[in-house]
């Protein structure tokens, strides 16, 4: 029996802690609940918002529709071969819970994605990534239900059109499907990714030599780095990295490097360089900035924070100021990674 609530505060359902309201809210614990929901005539034609952990959204308005909170649980190994193990997880499983499951069982590929907030079902939408690894590298397929027809569909890797923090679910199919579960292909023999960020330095601080390297060691290092840099949403409202790292032509990077010698850059192919948005924002003077309850984190300029009672509109206005400032100083556009609702 579905419990559809009305006039619900979404403050507990988003990590920014924004006190927006939903006209209706329902929690989905089983895939069959979605079909039951879609058969209710009162909800066929109203707007729908799918929420996982609420860790990648900025709510700028009340939502005059139905919020569908995905809670489908379960992690299961469904098959394996000589090289790979295939693990399926329900859309409501916490992402870090899944990563720890894989690390504990020796299934390699997700360890660099440790401690990313949110749920499994939301991860493919964003093609989440960290420390040189993206979800698409371990993605096999997902199952989803069409929001109008109730049709169940399996999406393979090519169907998802993954890009940098992008997928087909943020564009052509936005709002059209509810993801119920995701299947991942993990490696039995690990390939270690330690060159991105401070992983090697942190491993050295932990006393981990190359001979002792393991997926658990990398996971532990990533967890240590993230905890040192990123605020805990339970302590201060935030959605992690607010902006994408911009990718610019190498010629533009070379020009900027001539002006700003400390500018970091990571080549992507021969003609494109990715630069850290956090560095640009910090150099533009925003690190630690605060206006009322809206601010920029004091340790990581890539993170916008809610110090207490900020509205989504106030945080969005701050984000626009940061964007304009970076554009003026560097001639580089930075775009939000967070979904603006």
Active site residue 165: yes
143 closest CA partner among 127, 129, 160, 130 = 160
Which strands form 237-241's sheet, in the order they lie side by side?
237-241, 303-306, 294-296, 290-291
* Catalytic-labelled residue, pool 111, 134, 314, 337: 337
Q: For 246, which DSSP code?
A: P
The token pair at 3 is 């419990």
User: Backbone phi, then psi, for 306, in 5-degree steps?
Assistant: -105, 110
341 closest CA partner among 53, 9, 20 = 20
The token pair at 228 is 């040192």
Q: Which residues contact 114 (CB under 8 A, 6 or more apart)?
A: 96, 99, 100, 103, 219, 222, 223, 226
* Catalytic-labelled residue, pool 165, 219, 224, 314: 165
Longest dimension (CA), the chain: 64
Say how far apart CA 250 and CA 272 lie, in whole Å. 5
Active site residue 337: yes
Say how far apart CA 18 and CA 10 lie, in whole Å. 7
The token pair at 171 is 């564009």
The token pair at 176 is 């059209």
CA angle at 280 for the pair 277 and 281, rounded to the nearest 5°: 85
Q: Which residue has the tokens 């930075």?
A: 334
* Helix (DSSP H) and strand (DSSP E) numbers for the chain: 9, 20
* Catalytic-labelled residue, pool 55, 141, 219, 241: 241
What are the beta bridge partners of residue 6? 24
314 closest CA partner among 7, 61, 9 = 61
CB atoms within 10 A of CB 292: 13
Q: Which residues carry out catalysis?
A: 165, 241, 337
């Amino acid at each position: 029996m579905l419990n559809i609530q009305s006039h619900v505060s979404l403050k507990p359902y988003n990590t920014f802690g924004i006190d927006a309201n939903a006209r209706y809210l329902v929690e989905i614990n089983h895939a069959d609940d979605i079909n039951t929901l879609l058969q209710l005539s009162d909800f066929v034609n109203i707007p729908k918002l799918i929420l996982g952990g609420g860790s990648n959204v900025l709510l700028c308005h009340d939502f005059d529709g139905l919020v569908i909170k995905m809670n489908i649980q379960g992690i299961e190994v469904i098959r394996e071969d000589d090289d790979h193990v295939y693990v399926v997880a329900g859309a409501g499983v916490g992402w870090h819970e899944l990563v720890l499951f894989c690390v504990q069982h020796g299934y390699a590929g997700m360890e660099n994605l440790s401690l990313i907030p949110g749920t499994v079902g939301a991860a493919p939408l964003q093609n989440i990534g960290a420390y040189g690894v993206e979800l698409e590298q371990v993605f096999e397929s997902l199952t989803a239900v069409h929001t109008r027809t109730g049709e169940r569909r399996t999406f393979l890797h090519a169907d998802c059109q993954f890009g940098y923090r992008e997928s087909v679910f943020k564009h052509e199919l936005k709002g059209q499907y509810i993801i119920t579960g995701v299947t991942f292909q993990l490696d039995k023999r690990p390939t270690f990714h330690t060159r991105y960020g401070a992983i090697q330095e942190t491993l050295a601080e932990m006393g981990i030599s190359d001979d002792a390297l393991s997926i658990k060691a990398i996971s532990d290092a990533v967890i240590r780095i993230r905890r040192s840099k990123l605020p805990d949403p339970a302590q201060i409202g935030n959605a992690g990295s607010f902006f994408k790292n911009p990718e610019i032509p190498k010629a533009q990077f070379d020009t900027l490097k001539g002006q700003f010698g400390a500018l970091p850059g990571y080549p992507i192919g021969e003609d494109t360089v990715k630069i850290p948005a956090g560095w640009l924002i910090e150099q533009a003077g925003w690190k630690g900035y605060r206006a009322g309850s809206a601010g920029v984190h004091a340790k990581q300029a890539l993170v916008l924070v809610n110090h207490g009672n900020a509205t989504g509109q106030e945080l969005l206005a701050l984000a626009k100021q940061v964007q304009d400032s970076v554009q003026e100083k560097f001639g580089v556009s930075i775009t939000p990674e967070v979904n603006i609702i």
